[in-house]
Structures are given as structure tokens and as C-alpha cells.
Amino acid sequence: MAGFWWTEIAIGNNRMPQITLKLTDQELGLLTNLAADQLFRREFIDPKMPGYKFNPAELSLGKKLVERLRVITDRAANARITKAG
């Protein structure tokens, strides 16, 4: 499997790293499920722990990212089904 690439993009006055990572559809699906599980934990379980500090911006960003990953995973699965069928 190939590696990854690191570049930087400028958004306004901020320079943000942009990482390109090659994953199989199975790896991406697993990563998406793990991220969704972690978000569930941060939203519903962690707030009950002493000293937990809620970060709504991070939770929102995480939910948007998981949704993007799910769309990509679904497209990859559909492409695999189309090629096989």
C-alpha cells in the first residue's frame, strides 16, 4: 500500500496542512466506524466523567468529518458492487 503526502494550503491568513492518505475501502470503513464510536463516547459518556471539558466546536467538526468519510466509504462500496456485477 502506498504512503501519504503532506502539503499546505492557505485559508485566509492561516496555513493549514493538508494530508493525502491512501486507504482501502475496508480500512476507511473501519476508521469511520472507530471515529463514530469515539464521537458517541465524547458526546454521551465522557460528560459524566469528573473534570471533562466539553468542546462543542470539536464535536461538530468530528460529526461533519465522519459524515464525509461515510459518503466516501459508501461510494467506494457502490463502485466495488458495480464492478463485480
Main-chain phi, psi angles of 81, to 5 degrees: -65, -40
Which is more confidently placed, 5 or 53?
A: 53
Cβ pair 46, 53 in contact under 8 A? no
pLDDT value of position 53: 94
Cβ pair 35, 69 in contact under 8 A? yes
Rounded distance between C-alpha atoms, residue 37 and residue 30, angstroms: 11
N residues, the chain: 85
Rounded distance between C-alpha atoms, residue 22 and residue 28, angstroms: 9
pLDDT band at 1 (very low <50, low <70, confident <90, very high): very low
**What average pLDDT does the chain have?**
85
Give domain limits for the chain. 24-84
Identity of the amino acid at 13:
N
